[in-house]
Structure 1
Amino acid sequence: MSDLFEASGLSTAGPRPLADRMRPTRLADVVGQDHLLGADGTLTRMLKTRTLGSLIFWGPPGTGKTTIARLLATETDLAFEQISAIFSGVADLKKMFEAARARRMSGRATLLFVDEIHRFNRAQQDSFLPVMEDGTITLVGATTENPSFELNAALLSRSHVMTFHSLSREAIDSLLSRAEETEERPLPLDAEARQVLVRMADGDGRSALTL
């Protein structure tokens, strides 16, 4: 049953931030993480050999962690679920695990993306272990903090840590060019001002598009 927002069209017709509208739909369109997604990148090799397991994405904001997690689910035909450790508790995790178990019984596995995973306490982090071990979920956790200090050793031992880099100036400039194509108009900046904008973004793609 649709809700009032869906019935009125407001759920899809509202304005969306530029960064959301420009979210890549293919891994090949992600910029700035060639060590992971390039021809010989770590994630590229995992996908080719079908050895994708649970992952921890460690890096600064605006570098593509959420986007890549979504696209990995698409590439591997996994159901994508997302929660934030800031807003979720034990009850939310249990519901998510139960839904993943039910989905698995119907023949489809789940990629569970956990943003700010370092915000979960040790007991909450431990709750992931059984569902990771029995294949109920493929966990992808994102953190801006060093996982060696913020995550349980048991969780780390069952995951591959992927380090994300701040976007280079070339990558930011490429995003701005894509934004101009999306908006169908050039930025009202001369070359010097454009470079100032790139520097202000400080390696954060989302920040660049917001600016």
Structure 2
Amino acid sequence: MVDNNTSSSYSASDDNLPKIDLFGGGNVDLRTVAPLYGVASEEEPDYLDYDIKGRGTVERMFLYSGSSYLTGILTGGILGGRTGWKTAPSPRFWLRLNSVMNGAGKLGSKWGNNAGVFALMYSLSESLLDHFETDKVLGGHQAVNPVLSGAISGLLYKSTAAPRTAALASVLGGFGAGMFYVIRGQLDHFYYR
């Protein structure tokens, strides 16, 4: 219940904050109550939370795995549909459409799942390397963590294959992550001049 006399009688010197009568217990000055509820006073600035390292682990995980899954399922679906169109057992439309849909579903789901799993391993290894500040230990260059994350992800992804295959996947993962880092840097430089 707001006291009409007090709510209409405050002035600019009171910072336009009314005094409220709560249950007849007296007037409550909002300037004294505001800091309890996280409202900044005029004397101190109100800052936004900012993580200097960028996105958190869970945000990276969802971003990388989701976008990689979508890219993989679209790319695999297009290639599988093209293969299904070429290898259709009959030139009739419905049989050819069925072959396209089967090929797109088979290859699209395979590529999407593989890309999503690889991106999940990449995001977790990148977050782990960021946590231990590996880039500062190994020379301070920003490209160290993405390249190492790609190499670790490639190694883990093909760890059940032969050792040479796992080593090759590690090199390809590191190279791919390094190229993506360079391309992303060039695009950032191009768009944010």
TM-score, normalising length: structure 2? 0.22
In terms of fraction of residues, the more strand-rich structure is 1
Larger of the two Rg values belongs to structure: 2
Which structure is higher in RCO with an 8 Å CA cutoff and minimum separation 6? 1
More helix by share: 2
